[in-house]
């Protein structure tokens, strides 16, 4: 089992009773004051260099650690962006999973080595993915809303490559803002909590999408739309 998944799961479990959603939201919004770009695909090599992001909640501490580790590195700017983006996505996802597991219908996965399941909803296992509406998706947001299976297939095919890729059950939260700054919505945890609670209140097995991707076994999937406005 890749070490990265064990580290991530352990820290999510350790912090579940320590850090509040309000604290996380406050820190995430500090990241939103700066430009957001990757400059490269997420990959295992850069992940190994930036795994410290799991241990740091406060944005000022994160910036200090980035400077300490990379200030003399020839690729300082790229590694800074990579670290900031991984930190932002990790802490947003941690908060989202906390929101889910506050529901009596949701059970957190206690197995830190399981990279295929974050939690169960009414006994159905899911790997949760928070995803911005992809620029390279060949259709509009309106088309995706009317044809969610098409976007889900795109995610299974294009998202989470290398060791992260799998074709098990996934529950996607898709963020969309008309300005194009979809990523900033990942910091709006109070707003997002209402979206998740609304979804869970209406959750039914028969509403899930049966997916069959790349000849892999059928997976169950669905989308929670986190749309600011249209």
Could you tell me the mean pLDDT of each successive run of 10 residues in the chain, 230 residues long?
Answer: 49 59 95 87 85 94 96 92 95 93 93 82 95 95 96 87 68 96 96 96 95 77 90
104-116 pLDDT per residue, tens: 999 998 876 777 8
Sign of CA dihedral 167, 216, 113, 162: negative
Q: Say how many domains are in the chain.
A: 2
Note whether 216 and 109 are same-domain residues. Answer: yes
Note whether 74 and 112 are same-domain residues. Answer: no
Last residue of a domain, one of 100, 126, 150: 100
Number of helices (H), then strands (E), in the chain: 8, 6
58-101 pLDDT per residue, tens: 999 999 999 999 999 899 999 999 999 999 999 999 999 999 99
Note whether 95 and 48 are same-domain residues. Answer: yes
pTM for the model: 0.85
pLDDT value for 24: 94
Note whether 46 and 114 are same-domain residues. Answer: no
Neighbours of 67 (CB within 10 A): 12
Residue 33 burial (CB < 10 Å; 0-12/13-18/19+)?
exposed
Note whether 129 and 222 are same-domain residues. Answer: yes
Q: Which tokens in the block code for residue 222? A: 């669905």
What is the DSSP secondary-structure string of 40-57?
Answer: S---HHHHHHSGGGGG--
pLDDT value for 10: 47
């Amino acid at each position: 089992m890749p070490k990265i998944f064990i580290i991530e799961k352990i820290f999510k479990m350790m912090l579940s009773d320590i850090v509040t959603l309000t604290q996380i939201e406050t820190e995430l919004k500090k990241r939103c004051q700066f430009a957001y770009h990757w400059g490269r695909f997420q990959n295992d090599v850069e992940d190994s260099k930036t795994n410290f992001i799991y241990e740091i909640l406060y944005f000022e501490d994160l910036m200090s650690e980035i400077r300490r580790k990379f200030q003399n590195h020839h690729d300082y700017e790229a590694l800074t962006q990579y670290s900031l983006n991984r930190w932002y996505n990790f802490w947003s996802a941690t908060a989202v999973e906390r929101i889910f597991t506050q529901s009596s219908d949701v059970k957190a996965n206690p197995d830190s080595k399981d990279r295929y399941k974050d939690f169960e909803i009414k006994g159905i296992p899911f790997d949760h993915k928070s995803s911005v509406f992809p620029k390279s998706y060949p259709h509009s947001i309106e088309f995706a809303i009317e044809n969610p299976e098409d976007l889900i297939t795109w995610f299974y095919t294009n998202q989470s490559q290398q060791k992260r890729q799998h074709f098990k059950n996934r529950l996607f939260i898709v963020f969309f803002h008309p300005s194009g700054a979809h990523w900033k919505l990942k910091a709006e945890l109070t707003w997002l909590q209402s979206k998740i609670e609304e979804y869970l209140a209406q959750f039914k097995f028969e509403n899930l999408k049966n997916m069959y991707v790349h000849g892999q076994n059928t997976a169950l999937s669905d989308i929670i739309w986190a749309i600011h406005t249209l």
